[in-house]
Amino acid sequence: MGTAEIAVRRRNKSERLGRVGRLAQGKFVSSKNVPDLLKRIIEPGDILCLEGDNQKQADFLANQLASLDRKDLHDIHLVMSCITLPAHIQLFKKGMIRQVDFCYAGPQGTAVADLVKAKKFPVGAIHTYNELYARYYIDLTPRVALIAAAKADRKGNLFLAANTEETPAIVEPTAFSDGIVFAQVNEIVDKLPRIDIPADQVDFVVEAPYPMHLQALFTRDPAAITDVQILMAMVALRGIYEKYEVQSLNHGVGFNTAAIELLLPTYGERLGLKGKICKYWMVNPLPTMIPAIESGWIERVFSVGGEVGMERYTAARSDVFSTGRDGSFHSNRAMGQLAGHYAVDMFIGASLQIDVNLPGRKLVVQLVETFQAGRVPTFVEELDAQDPSIKKALHGVAPVMIYGDDVTHIVTEEGIANVGACRSIAERQAAIRAVAGYTPVGLKRKKRETEELRRRGIVQLPEDVGVRPSEATRSLLATQDIKGLVRWSQGLYDPPAQFVDW
């Protein structure tokens, strides 16, 4: 019975490969033949994986897929991390997708919301990255995976460069269950700097007419960091990092955390914290970490992905970053996510995607301003969407739910609420109100209640952790602009053009 089933899959794969005929020369496909080839290797009912997270996208293959008609491609069960490109939306608009399992909608959030309203977005579930990768091995194993790599050699070996990202997590489960792996590459060369994916696991390769989409997602211009964010960063440094002596951490990506990174060599140094906190990081190579790295704060960084412009810097700082034998940066999203969940003392960020049932005692710190741009309050009593899971997936910064229970601490410019130490839901709500400032939620706080929580250390105002708000100015940052980061890096950081004004 079991052997018969496996034989079916294997036979099915060879049938598909047989249909390709002259559309490929060995593993190599010319870009103009890609649409036809896709028609022949994908079957209705397939689980199809399209590589694409919030940084790296197999965009050429996605565009080719979106150019097909419903008659050629339908009843697809799409699995992918991030719905990022207009081409992804097209697949739904054309009615090709029977079900989708994904993590995050990112820049297409509004378009996805429209699809949901039009009932053209058949969601299976919204996952964390690791849930999805894990299911690729169990019940969501792709029949066909469309992936992206930097380079291929003549045998079909792949080099993934700095943005290894999720490629291994997709290729392995697919290749080892008779699925088809089809890679777009920026160029085909005689010799690769290093082999990240062996040719053995790759069925087709196309040299795409344009380089893969790569977002400079983690670059935060220090020039845009506000005094309020600096105040929050100071409060977090003293009230969380210093208090709990946080050694290893998973930093979110935002101006708040960028402010913390840029305060380490200045404010952190003054507090005598160097060597005591923040030694091990699970985070992408953030340009704003350069001053802390250069000042000797950071021992080790492991990353889920690369960052545009950081290639020469990360290569030159191989003691801190993972580099391959070729000397260039290496990342791995699945392993990074694992490390981020199991190997760190603390998660901190504005929008956190958190697996429930965390092992051991971890700090989970939500770092938010009480108001977002345009005076939208960050704190709400209840999410106002019909489908909170979709709403949460669509929002860059998810509103803080007063009833949420994953978070141990909430840090705002008003102070810290140690919600993890609260004894009841009512107490938890009071603690959140105490730091919710002048939002509608915050206005409901009662003075006596706040004072009692302060006495017990559950609520801490800036002055309670030794922070003077008048000190919170941009002059405290190790550098105030991108050019300063380049100078800190000794010219090794090459910021993307949109950040260069010199």
Partner 1 sequence: MTGTSLFHEQTARQRIAAVVDAGSFVELLPPPERLTSPYLAQLGIPVSFDDGIVIGKAKIGGKKLYIAAQVGQFVGGAVGEIHGAKLTGLFKAAARDRVPCALVIESGGVRLHEGSAGEIAITETMRAIFECRAKKVPTIAVIGSDIGAYGGIGILSTCCDFRVMTEHGRLGISGPIVIEKWMGKKAYDSSNRALVWKTSGGKTKYLLGDADALVHDDAGAVREAIGKLLAKSSPVTLKNAKARQAALAKRLKRFGKTENPDDVWKGMGVRDIAAASLASGPEFVALAKTGRK
Partner 2 sequence: MEKFAKAFPSKPLKNTAGKPWALAGVVGSGNLEVLVERGSRPSDAMECHIETSIPGYKASWLAALADFAHHYPAGGTKVTINDQGAPPVLVTLRLRQAYDHLTKGEK
Q: Which residues bind partner 1 (CB under 8 A)?
A: 266-267, 269-270, 473-481, 483, 486-487, 491, 497-502
Rounded to a whole number of angstroms, the minimum distance from the CB of residue 39 to partner 1 is 38
Q: Which stretch binds partner 2 (CB under 8 A): 15-23, 73-81, 146-154, 438-446?
A: 438-446
**Which DSSP state fits 267?**
I
Rounded to a whole number of angstroms, the minimum distance from the CB of residue 483 to partner 1 is 7
Long-range contacts of 70-74 (CB under 8 A, 24+ apart): 70/94, 70/95, 70/96, 72/39, 73/38, 73/39, 73/42, 73/44, 74/44, 74/98
Q: How many residues does the chain have?
A: 502
Q: How many CA atoms lie within 13 A of 290 on its CB side?
A: 31
Residues 440-459 that bind partner 2 (CB under 8 A): 440, 443
CA-based torsion, 461, 466, 470, 473: positive or negative: negative
# residues near partner 2 by CB under 8 A: 18
170 versus 308: smaller Cβ distance to partner 1: 308
State the Cα–Cα distance between residues 264 and 258, nearest whole angstrom. Answer: 10
Tokens representing 484 are: 């300063």
Q: Work out what residue 375 binds among partner 1, partner 2, none; the CB cut-off runs from 5 to 8 Å by kind.
A: partner 2
Say whether residue 414 binds partner 2 (CB under 8 A). yes
263 versus 416: smaller Cβ distance to partner 1: 263
Among 22, 325, 361, 375, binds partner 2 (CB under 8 A): 375
Site string for partner 2, 210-249 (x = CB under 8 A): -----------------xx--x------------------
223 versus 315: smaller Cβ distance to partner 1: 223
Q: Which stretch binds partner 2 (CB under 8 A): 29-37, 61-69, 236-244, 364-372?
A: 364-372
CA angle 52, 56, 60 (to 5 degrees): 70
Rounded to a whole number of angstroms, the minimum distance from the CB of residue 490 to partner 1 is 11
Q: How many CA atoms lie within 13 A of 261 on its CB side?
A: 35
46 versus 414: smaller Cβ distance to partner 2: 414
Task: Write out the H or E segment, with its range, that includes residue 260.
Answer: helix 255-263
Say whether residue 370 binds partner 2 (CB under 8 A). yes
Phi, psi (degrees; rounded to nearest 5) at 346: -150, 140
Rounded to a whole number of angstroms, the minimum distance from the CB of residue 499 to partner 2 is 22
Q: Work out what residue 371 binds among partner 1, partner 2, none; the CB cut-off runs from 5 to 8 Å by kind.
A: partner 2
State the Cα–Cα distance between residues 323 and 64, nearest whole angstrom. Answer: 33
Q: Residue 107: is it exposed, middle or buried by C-beta count within 10 angstroms (0-12/13-18/19+)?
A: middle
124 versus 484: smaller Cβ distance to partner 1: 484
Tokens representing 239 are: 């009230």
Q: Which stretch binds partner 2 (CB under 8 A): 174-182, 352-360, 372-380, 490-498?
A: 372-380
Residues 468-497 that bind partner 2 (CB under 8 A): 469-470
Which positions ≥6 away from 28 have C-beta within 8 Å? 156, 188, 204, 205, 206
Say whether residue 439 binds partner 2 (CB under 8 A). yes
Task: Write out the H or E segment, with its range, that includes residue 182.
Answer: strand 180-188
Rounded to a whole number of angstroms, the minimum distance from the CB of residue 216 to partner 1 is 14
Summarize as ranges the residues that interact with partner 2 (CB under 8 A): 227-228, 231, 369-371, 373-375, 413-414, 437-440, 443, 469-470
